[in-house]
Chains A and B, each alone.
Chain A
């Protein structure tokens, strides 16, 4: 994947570059907002990691120009905003301007790489019908799932639950959110029913190393695949 880092702090920028290159991405770095806007106009990046506190043209302005630019092929470029400010307004403003995710400095590298993977997966989902999570592959058009290349049997509702969780790897999905996503199938669903679907999914996926964690009283979280 091709990534653009816009960060004026040299040590942080070089650290980010090395971490993301280690993940197998092609990474460009610039310290100037103006250059970021120019680069994004000429080339397609799969993800832009954008610092808000830039000299001269700040990150908000860069984001605004990225979003206001000519219609992007293959959907808008995902943007992960980095900020050293924690004011709520900044967070809201960044997301309002079309940022896809938001991280407050300093942050742990595993968290950054997890978010980057999630964003890349999401942008792939925009482009293609396949979602891959370790040994699990979902064909969202044909509505078929494969585990280790074997077709996976699943009920329609299990499928819906799995799709919701796969869309938010490493993020908690509340039971209410799952119920809302699955409710398209008709009758009322109780939180208990969701528990049943999740436990069935677990029994199928856990042997392959895919873990769905219960967050007591809240919901579920599909963990990053760490190998079986």
Chain B
């Protein structure tokens, strides 16, 4: 990005150095031509009514010989008539014949540099034109150009190098800062420690910290709102459930009982949906709670009571194969993810079906999986069942289609992967489904 302006500066610098140095050199060469003109003028002699040039052949030879260039001359009488020399060498376009004029012209198809010098012939004034080709002048111009360009280029190269390293060094801390910010997990709203950052970036860091503080404030507000919303929803739902169950315990006409059963089921579904929406909101990045050292085995054991009662209500045999499985995570969210997996497995099992919850480790990765021997999920649907509100077509039951979406949100939030495979009984004809969450080492 710095190269074009530096290159432009280099060219400008070369030009600025070139023209002042080429002018005196050109003047010096011109002076040489003028001297030749003056010498030639001294060989003009009166001859009858006119003049002639009495130039010894040896002198002519010397005059015309130059190590680089060819020299031309032409001597004009007072009336402008040609006295001697190379006919056709052009006169200057302007300027009095009484003064020395230097000019560029062409002769014999070549560019030449010429001078017109006045000469005394008796009482009158003659004019001598001397011209030479441009070989040594071109060579000189080239030499001057090189001698100015070379140091310019060295300086430019040095400048670029210095600027490059300087900028890199100067921006290094900024680059490190941005790496640090990039490396953060999306939910990490802790302020950046200004101690580790360079002086120049402090205002930036403190502005960022201000923003982070506002974000985590907003996140805390959201958490408070969620806690309140949970309370506001759950308490009346608990009352509704209490009264429907009380009434259902009485002797009721069959129709009324059937209607009330519907109300009861709807109440339970609403309560579950409220829980799921809250869980989904909590799993949002930034709203995430505290990560702690957890053991999936302990987590599963803690919830086993509730799950076993759910399973008993549907006559499902719920079993456990629990091994040590340490993870870093949010206990509330992981519990919710597990609850959703187990709930789904129980919900989609036949009466008398089997559901097994497993925790353990594959190498360094902890996992939890829930397997059932229900109808299974066709491979083509396995990706889509993780989407919010998606339900496998033709599925019975009363799910909202949120359960697995919540599991996925929570898994992703923990850097874990989720996989859906056939149950172990698949080969022997029963279908079944196995959903596993595998956590990264840590």
B231 touches A109 (CB 8 A): no
How far apart are A129's CB and chain B's nearest CB, in angstroms? 27
Interface string of B108-136 (1 = CB under 8 A from A): 00000000000000000000000000000
C-alpha gap A218/B278 in the complex (Å): 30
Inter-chain contacts of B230 with A (CB < 8 A): 84-86
Task: Choose among B231, B304, B309 the residue that contacts A85 (Cβ–Cβ < 8 A).
Answer: B231
Inter-chain contacts of B304 with A (CB < 8 A): 172, 215, 218
C-alpha gap A216/B271 in the complex (Å): 29
How far apart are B256's CB and chain A's nearest CB, in angstroms? 18
C-alpha gap A174/B308 in the complex (Å): 13
C-alpha gap A107/B239 in the complex (Å): 9
A9 touches B245 (CB 8 A): no
B236 touches A108 (CB 8 A): no
With known contacts A53-B231, A87-B227, A215-B308, A106–B322 Cβ distance under 8 A: no
* A111 CB–B CB distance under 8 Å: yes
Inter-chain contacts of A82 with B (CB < 8 A): 238
A216 touches B235 (CB 8 A): no
Residues 71 to 120 of chain A near chain B (Cβ within 8 Å)? 82, 84-88, 104-111
C-alpha gap A84/B240 in the complex (Å): 14
* A47 CB–B CB distance under 8 Å: no
B234 touches A19 (CB 8 A): no
With known contacts A11-B236, A84-B230, A84-B231, A18–B246 Cβ distance under 8 A: yes
B239 touches A218 (CB 8 A): no
* B90 CB–A CB distance under 8 Å: no
A106 touches B245 (CB 8 A): no
Residues 48 to 63 of chain A near chain B (Cβ within 8 Å)? 51, 53
B235 touches A9 (CB 8 A): yes
A15 touches B322 (CB 8 A): no
With known contacts A109-B246, A216-B318, A217-B356, A172–B240 Cβ distance under 8 A: no
With known contacts A15-B242, A19-B246, A111-B309, A217–B301 Cβ distance under 8 A: no
A106 touches B237 (CB 8 A): yes
A216 touches B231 (CB 8 A): no
A108 touches B235 (CB 8 A): no
> Chain B binding site: helix, strand, loop or mixed by DSSP?
helix
How far apart are A206's CB and chain B's nearest CB, in angstroms? 17
* A221 CB–B CB distance under 8 Å: yes
How far apart are B239's CB and chain A's nearest CB, in angstroms? 4
C-alpha gap A104/B303 in the complex (Å): 13
Inter-chain contacts of B232 with A (CB < 8 A): 84
Inter-chain contacts of B317 with A (CB < 8 A): 216
B321 touches A217 (CB 8 A): yes
* B100 CB–A CB distance under 8 Å: no
* A16 CB–B CB distance under 8 Å: yes
Q: What class of interface size applies to chain B in its complex with A?
A: 35 or more
With known contacts A172-B304, A215-B308, A12–B322 Cβ distance under 8 A: no
> Chain A binding site: helix, strand, loop or mixed by DSSP?
mixed
* B350 CB–A CB distance under 8 Å: no
C-alpha gap A172/B234 in the complex (Å): 26
* B331 CB–A CB distance under 8 Å: yes
Inter-chain contacts of B246 with A (CB < 8 A): 15, 18-19, 22, 109
* A171 CB–B CB distance under 8 Å: yes
With known contacts A12-B242, A109-B242, A171-B305, A218–B235 Cβ distance under 8 A: no
Inter-chain contacts of A174 with B (CB < 8 A): 301
Task: Choose among B241, B271, B319 the residue that contacts A217 (Cβ–Cβ < 8 A).
Answer: B319
B234 touches A218 (CB 8 A): no
With known contacts A109-B241, A217-B319, A9–B236 Cβ distance under 8 A: yes
Inter-chain contacts of B146 with A (CB < 8 A): none
Inter-chain contacts of A170 with B (CB < 8 A): 309
How far apart are A5's CB and chain B's nearest CB, in angstroms? 11
**B336, closest chain A residue (CB):** A86
Pull 22 A–B residue pairs with CB atoms less than 8 Å apart, ordered by A. A11-B240, A12-B236, A15-B246, A18-B246, A19-B245, A82-B238, A84-B233, A87-B227, A105-B238, A106-B234, A106-B238, A106-B267, A172-B304, A213-B308, A213-B312, A215-B308, A215-B318, A217-B319, A217-B320, A218-B319, A218-B320, A218-B322
Give the B-binding residues of A (Cβ under 8 A).
Answer: 9-12, 15-16, 18-19, 22, 51, 53, 82, 84-88, 104-111, 170-172, 174, 213, 215-218, 221
